[in-house]
Structure 1
Amino acid sequence: MWMLSIVVITGLSALVYAQQFPPFPQTIAQPFAQQQIVQQLNAQQQFQSFPWQFSECSTQFGGRCSSFCYTGEQPAHPYFCFYGMAQCCIPVAKSCSSVGGTCRLSCGADTPSTDTTVVCNGQQYCCMPNNNTSTTPSTTTGSVSQRQGACGAATPLNNVQPRILNGYTGRQCEWPWMVSFRHPTKGLFCSGVLVNNDTVLTSGRCVVNAPLQEIKVHAGDFITSRPDFQESVYSVNSIDIMEGYNFQVKGKNLAAVKLASPIVFDQCKRPVCLVDKSIPLKPSTKCYIAGFGATEYGQPPALQAADVTLLDRNTCQTYIAMATGETLPSDVVCTNTQLDNTDACPGDDGGMLVCPDVNNRWSLVGIITYYSCSRLPTLYTDISTYSDWILQRL
């Protein structure tokens, strides 16, 4: 605290006084400057710690919120950073040819680029050449991956966040092949998985006796209560349910839904790869399930996902036989509900079970079909059993 007194200072006394005490304006300017520095540091720390990863800039465009954009980024509307709290900086789009690829409708044996900043026109992929492989796709011969074409480009494996029951709400576009089925009065009733630009796989139970003209498929869906920026709605042209399916008996629970118009692929709408026995799954890697169904807290606001562990068939059969007395169908795979402490629930029917393969592609191993909401192993229709059936309907 400063004290003010009235003194008479002359000669040497005035000089000593001036040396001991700096001019008054400087004595108040110094702490004021320090306060400004402290305020700036606090503001920087608050800015850096703010959850920008949940902004639309991040979830929809793969951008970042900042006070300025770097070289190689372009500014988008600040609205996408929580209604103007920061600048939305998104990567500058690159042409496919600039990264050594070519734009094609199907990559065949080549590899689709996973770089979301690379663009091609319309429904084309940016195909990166593989050495010693043919670039001509075949629809009747070859491996599953060659016959299906480009697929599986999504969130890198190390960027997946670890509800479905005890799951998590991920990022928008994290699983771009996930779609929801909706009815004008019943609302959201099932999940599905996109395998090409007009074909969705789901469980037979979801669409058996379904009113074809009333069902809508929502691609790019994430928030369930409102339309998303990248969400598109499609009518259904036809429904093909696996021959021999009976809702009273487990097995053959699979359907292929054809859309009335093709989907235009983008960051939030892409097909998953069908599991290919010629391309092994990556060992000791977690698989993931996702669906639009209920959680332990009720109906969630967004797509839910969870990491799961595959369960060997004999152990799965033991659990099922002890609980229900039933024999496990030959066309199902199981995940370990007890170990994972997670399970599917109503509304997740038709959702995905995906695992990474050795080529770092997400492969569709199963479609969610039977669950108990945490008591028994979750059962999935084994996609490898029906690869030919599916490919014939692409």
Structure 2
Amino acid sequence: FFCFPCFFLKTITRYFNKCVVHLESKFLCFFHFRIVMTNFFIFIEQSINVITNVVGNIFNISRTIDVPLGSGNNTVQFNFTLNGDELNGSEQIQEVAPINLTFCQSSPQDVEYLNFSFKNETTSEEDINASIVSSSWQYFLGTGEINRTLSYSNSTEALNYAFCFSPSNQTVTTSLDLDYTNSISQQRKFNPSPLTLTNTTTQQTLFLLPTADGIFVTFQVVDPAEQVISGVNSNVTKDGDIISSGTTDDAGLITYFLDPDTSYVFSFSKTGLTGVTTTLVPTQTSFTIIMGVVTTINQFDTTIGIDYTITPNNLTLVNGTDVNFSLDLVSTFNTLEEFGFVLSNSTGTIFNSTSSTTGTGGLLSQILNTGNNTDITMEVFWTITGNQTNVTRIWLVFNLENEGFSVLTFFNDLSIYLTS
């Protein structure tokens, strides 16, 4: 590799010698390379945004950053590695000027970015005076990671309030939580999504409703399991105008002061959840909003497609007789890993067992003498993908010598009735 010669004509242009706090300033270094070989590599230790080949062997290398808070002069220098050699750009002085969002006043805070005016939410929608109870702003020019804040209130009722920003050639983004009211109305909140403002003034109308004309309406936002959801962004609109907005509290609640004879559109949204928009006339004082998707927990059902028959059908047996116990089981949905049954009595004595690994099922049988047992139990089982299901059948065993009109007769009659 040869660099002949390799030098910096100008590290930072005049335009970038002055920037504004928080502006995503692109500090452009203009490197002029005279390259003998056509293949070369540039490695930058810090993250960069763009490497652009301007013309021939001239490259622009830029990096975008948020400028920290504070004004004054900063030193800026580009260092980079070219084919293993570290090259340093010349140090340049960067003048940093502050940004400022305030209630409009004398220059330079005299360029309106946002103007609030007030109207009655009545049929005539006449202009009214109102005061700002409180407002919290968080504004920035870059990504928002570095930002400034403003708190403003004014108890004087006025037709409008204007807010100005400097320097007036920049676009500013701000979040806002503003409470406003007047002497005849209930207080309302304006809490919009982040606003992007420029020196083309944004006109924002805020509506108030006289106390005599409205009721307080509370919405609780819950999920399908009826668990409350906090931090849901909500707003109310009428004819496309924002009437009020806010965020649900820890109990999932948000309250609006509304006209019970007017139709409003209510919107609820939160990241990760499906938004809800509904239109209604708030004739009652409380509503429930359900957000989200029902989460279904799929449990493996081993009884789907299973059909079985157990014999003997009688509920009773006779002592000292040979009985054919059988299980006829069929699986039409899942593949059986194993199925079968175990014969025992109530004392836990196991007489015999039988099983099969035929995937679709089949007929299994065992002949057992009932002996002197008072009961016989068949424990049926089948296994599908490691999940075992059990079914139990019990027969009572009696001695014929004591039959007469006895318990045996009763159970035999009952058995005939149940199987007829």
TM-score range, shorter chain: under 0.3
Q: TM-score, normalised by structure 1?
A: 0.22
* Larger strand share, 1 or 2: 2
Q: Normalized per residue, which structure has more helix?
A: 1
Highest RCO, 1 vs 2 (Cα 8 Å, sep ≥ 6): 1
TM-score (norm 2): 0.21
